[in-house]
Amino acid sequence: MLENMKVLSFTHFVQGPAAAQYLADMGADVIKVEPLNGAFERSYGADDVFVDGLSATFFSVNRNTRSISVDLKSERGKEVIFSLIQESDVLLENYRGGVLERLGFGYEAAKAVKPNIIYASASGWGSSGPMAEMPGQDLLIQARCGLIAITGNLESGPTVPGAPIVDQHAAALMAMAINAAFIKKLKTGQGTRIESNLLNAGLDLQTESFAGYFSGKRTSERFRRDPRLASWFLPAPYGVYQLADCHAVISLGGEVTKFAEAIGNPDLIALSADRMANRDALTKILGEELKSWTYDRLDRTLAPLSMWYEKVQDYDAIRSDPQVLHNQCIQQFDVGEGVGTVLAHPVRYDGAVPEFRRLPIEIGCDTQDVLQAAGWSAEAIDSLAREGVVNLGLRREAV
């Protein structure tokens, strides 16, 4: 779908590479610009996992991209990069604020050689303001934007979600913005300056919560609740409950009176008249009642009433979940002597999962091909390699 989009990606770790991967999955030609010693996420693996030497973090967010490796500080390296900017529709970067400018590849410099460039910068806090120069990382943003405070209980302690959700949401927002700018470019021929950041993305995850809190003139006391309740602004029994053989969530659905009657506790029936005002009391009684229930009993009781509930699954259960398998959510590929396992692109197009085309296993493995396509001769490329301006890498790829 995006086969005509060419992206020059100065990205590292998760937010930037994940945004580039969304575009690459949709068909864009994404060229990842790496330092001579490789992108940061090559040396860091989630849970210290490396498959045949390749970081799990790297191969989780760099699918379908190509890699070139260039010394960005050298004069000839700058010449290489400007030749690639001239060939690109999009320059995407998530370096610390000011880094690309200091290297000579800021927005004005890029626009000078490519007037209609889409220049997309992803940062932690934003490109200006009191936090602009501070380190911006998922956990820091979750703390500052309120996600941790509303996820946990302020009495027993705030709770951090188990995955860097802000990084991934920010990546999706950036991919969305680039697609919009590309449509504009196709219609008008004009480029766009795009700026996104983790702070705004973290706040965006709380759209409903934020509106309810401030429009209702609430205070932070409103966050206090039974720790089983999953949300401060939704009525009981919306939460997580311990059963005899597992944990389960109950969202409700159906009719609350029928739910209370099905559970069979008379106190629940009385409290269900106002589930918001009585949310803690209702949750406490329900929580104690369900401790002796098995999931099978809960299923047999609530299924006929069209109630909303589900078993809490761990990753091992997810791996064999029939709906996950049907949706083709998991991809595997060979990495040398090992096997990489990742989540597939989340959207289906005409009923199909975007194709897994390639993975740049070696640093700079596509440097020669990319430079030749940009007009560099074989002799010039060899000269750049001898001078240490580029790393030609090896051509081993995942299949």
Contact predicate 313/240, CB 8 Å: no
Helix (H) or strand (E) holding 248: strand 247-252
Q: Alpha carbon 323 to chain centroid distance? A: 21
Catalytic residue among 52, 167, 334, 369: 167
Contact predicate 323/284, CB 8 Å: no
Q: What count of other Cβ atoms lies within 10 Å of the Cβ of residue 22?
A: 27
Contact predicate 88/162, CB 8 Å: no
Catalytic residue status for 167: yes
CA distance 123 to 16: 9
- In this structure, the dihedral spanned by the alpha carbons of residues 168, 169, 172 and 178, taken in order and rounded to 10 degrees, is -120
Six token digits for residue 267: 């106190």
- Classified as helix, coil or strand, 17 is helix
- The residue to which tokens 């390749």 are assigned: 54
CA distance 387 to 393: 15
Six token digits for residue 119: 């220049």
Contact predicate 192/107, CB 8 Å: no
Contact predicate 172/61, CB 8 Å: no
The catalytic residue positions are 167
